[in-house]
Amino acid sequence: MTAIAGEINGFQVVYITDEAAFLKAVEKLSKAADLALDLEFDDNRYSYGLNLCLIQIADRETCYLIDPFRLENLQPLWDIIQNPRIVKIIHSSSNDIILLKTLGCIPQNVLDTELAAKVLDYGRTSFANMMAVIFNTEIDKAYQVSNWNTRPLLDEQLLYAANDVVYLHALKDNLLDHIKDLGREDWLEEECRLLEQIEQKSQADRYLKLRGTERLTYFELFILKQLYFFREDLAKSYNKPAGSVIPNEVLLNLVLQPAESFNDWQNIRGLMGRIKDNNTFKKFRQVVQEAVAQAKEEGISMSRPVRPRRPDFLVSKEVAESRKALLQPARNRIMELYGENVASLILPQGLINDFAEGRPLEIKKKYAQKIVADIIGELVIEMPVS
């Protein structure tokens, strides 16, 4: 355990790299009513996959910077983050929640200060902007995209990481005071509980998202899928982002024009140098040959897929225009009463567009349901029967 910089904003900042200090910190943190939390992670920028690199967590006295690379078992900390009794203050928490869930931690009682800012109709809700507007404090984001995988971490990186949490309690207190004045506590509560339910999107068809796949046939897409996962295996083995091992454009070109010889393989521009060996080339050729054989055996078509079009409206364009005109005044009224940014929480334009196209108006948030119902009643809007 190392104190790195005395005090920042009244907090002692401590860098934790050993088990004894970690357990001592956990014991203190477990007694807090609310904790500020942030994570530094690498998402395929310098290493393979989504990797936790540093945990910043603070009660109202001490900011702990916990090095996950030096600790074998983080479960005692996960138990705190999962404890519904303790509020976890996070700014823009969706990525943090997804990462924690991949690590087996299901955060509970999250209070997202970015959502709190949106409930108050702030337009620019980044942490740096909120700090500038509310506290006239400039947050240096120079180390935001630094390589958090490296060790030792620079003192400047650790100070940057600490700054992301030592102001969160004050930010939460400030925003909550205004939210309570407006009587919108239940709005924020519901928004935060919905945010806790966020899950990582399915990764099954990731290869279809690569730029240029629209020019491939079904046959070629089958081969691309096998090469895509061949690349994933390589990237994982070298702990490098997949795109730095074989760039996406090169991967597609290898489908259209597979390297036939070791010399061809070595001359491909863009390949990571360490995979230009004969052994990797042989594995590549085997993947391609097996994919081609399987595609032929399964009779996969040599034609191109028909590009999906935007689904037709469920109603005529004339009816769609009338349905949109029916509901748009409700959104305009919400904007007038609460502000444009709050309107995007209560009645997003996308919901109006879906309604215009013939779908039922489905508002999941209970507080938003009541507001929209009241506005529809106030404006005497005759909603169509579903």
pLDDT per position as a tens digit, 50-97: 999 999 999 999 999 999 999 999 999 999 999 999 999 999 999 999
Task: List the structure tokens of 319.
Answer: 């009816």
In this predicted structure, what is the pLDDT of residue 144?
A: 81
56 sits in which H/E element: strand 50-58
Q: pLDDT of 329-350, one tens digit each? A: 999 999 999 999 999 999 999 9
CA dist., res. 210 & res. 230, Å (int): 15
Whether residue 106 contacts residue 88, with contact meaning beta carbons closer than 8 Å, is answered with no
Per DSSP, the residues of 334-362 read HHHHH-HHHHHHHS-HHHHHHHHTT----
Mean pLDDT of all residues belonging to the chain: 94
Average pLDDT over residues 239-253: 97
In this predicted structure, what is the pLDDT of residue 94?
A: 97
Helices (H) and strands (E) in the chain, counts: 17, 7
Q: Within 10 A of 344 (CB to CB), how many other CB atoms are there? A: 16
Give the three-class secondary structure for 183: coil
Check residue 1 and report its DSSP letter.
-
- Name which of 12, 152, 143 is nearest 69 in CA terms: 152
Q: pLDDT of 105-114, one tens digit each? A: 999 999 999 9
Q: pLDDT of 120-132, one tens digit each? A: 999 999 999 999 9
Q: Which domains does the chain have, with CATH numbers?
A: 2-195 (3.30.420.10), 206-297 (1.10.150), 317-378 (no CATH)
CA dist., res. 95 & res. 101, Å (int): 10
Q: Within 10 A of 332 (CB to CB), how many other CB atoms are there? A: 14
CA dist., res. 348 & res. 304, Å (int): 36
Task: List the structure tokens of 23.
Answer: 């357990």
Check residue 86 and report its DSSP letter.
S
Q: Which residue has the tokens 């070298």?
A: 238
